[in-house]
Copies of this chain bind each other. A is one copy, B any other.
Amino acid sequence: MNFEFTKEEKEFQEEVCEFIKKESTPEMLKETEDQGEIFGGPEGRKIIKKIAAKGWLTPTWPKEYGGLDASEVVSYMIREEMGYNGLPFGFVAAHMSGPTIIRFGSEEMKKAWLPRISSGEVEFALGYTEPQAGSDLSALKLRAEDKGDHFLLNGNKLFNTSCHIADYHWLAVRTDFDVPKPYKGISMMIVDLKSPGITISPLITMAGWRTNEVVYEDVRVPKENLVGEVNKGFYYLMAALDFERMFPLGIFRRLFDEIVAYAKETIIDGKPLSKKPLIRQKLAQLSIEIEVTRLLYYQLAHILDKGGIPNYQSSMEKTFATELTQRITNVGMDILGLYGQLKEDSKWAQLKGKVERYYLTSVVQTIVAGTSEIQRNIIAQRGLGLPR
């Protein structure tokens, strides 16, 4: 039993942090925040290419594809530190598409895509959700008709977040329209987002970020862009979730540390807020829950490093961590009181308006990538064998 990093891992962690801090620019930090921590903007691409050059974007990949053959613990640690230090930390290509290609893609596809992904050269946008297919992805309708040498795509995607700054769409489409079980007619393909016939329209979230509606009208996709076999897409998609569902708390852990600093520095009634019993209890409780999340998070890496596949544990970590983000921002707003409402560019704003901003963004964390309700179903059904 061992709950700490090894000496080497600790040293590596320091190296990562130092490198990030050295290479971070205010422009990159602002871009990341403005875009809702997604990757693909020009500033983010600059620093990520440097990080990728060190193998840190895809540390667990084989060296031949640009990885380090490193452990999952190391990989998880890097992502946590990237989030904590204000970098984008979720990469569709490196963390979802890449592993799927490694596992299910043809040799040609591996050669074509993996080096470009691991070097940080290309980014994908997730192409799952549709207006009528949210929690229930099997209901997706975007049609891909087999036209011999290509597929012809028609339909709509909704809330496909990175499409306006990513290069390719990691797209789930319907290739069989008459199967009795709808999930059996789904395929995965890689689509150039600059393809003729694709219209990307912005949707603005309450947090001020952009997400997108994407309309496909007679878009031609070459056959070689099909991932794995036709009609097996739902299986790939679900398998990827098993491997990749996780939520690094990093950015919110950073916010918590800033709230703690604020409570210690802010004097009301002649003593720091941090000496008020109610505030102490609230912050102590959050620090406990952050520790709980750390254990749940690295448990996933531990399971993978042992050669296993996280079962319900990913759902548990995702749910616990994302619900915690809302408790952190709630307590932050409580502690800031009337100051909590002031926006970044307002006189008297505290912590650069960060608490207010994160308070807004935390709302969606328990909804995207599988709602808390779906996750609890999974925990009960997969983790405890209760009936579907």
Q: Which residues from B are CB-within-8-Å of A277?
A: 276-278
Task: Let me know if A281 is at the binding interface, CB within 8 A.
Answer: yes
Q: Which residues from B are CB-within-8-Å of A281?
A: 278
Interface residues on A, range: under 10
Q: Which residues from B are CB-within-8-Å of A276?
A: 277
Interface of A is mostly: helix
Shortest CB-to-CB span from A190 to chain B, Å, is 40
The proximity string for A residues 260-281 relative to B, scoring 1 for CB distances below 8 Å and 0 otherwise, is 0000000000000000111001
Query: Which of chain B's residues has its CB closest to A276's CB?
Result: B277
A291 and B278 alpha carbons, distance in the complex (Å): 23
Residues of A128-165 at the interface with B, using a CB-CB cut-off of 8 Å, are none
Shortest CB-to-CB span from A281 to chain B, Å, is 6
A277 and B278 alpha carbons, distance in the complex (Å): 7
A281 and B277 alpha carbons, distance in the complex (Å): 11
A276 and B277 alpha carbons, distance in the complex (Å): 9
Q: Which residues from B are CB-within-8-Å of A278?
A: 277-278, 281
A277 and B276 alpha carbons, distance in the complex (Å): 9
A281 and B278 alpha carbons, distance in the complex (Å): 9
A276 and B281 alpha carbons, distance in the complex (Å): 13
CB-defined A-B contacts under 8 Å, sample of 5: A276-B277, A277-B277, A277-B278, A278-B278, A278-B281
The 5 closest A-B pairs by CB, nearest first: A277-B277, A277-B278, A278-B281, A278-B278, A276-B277
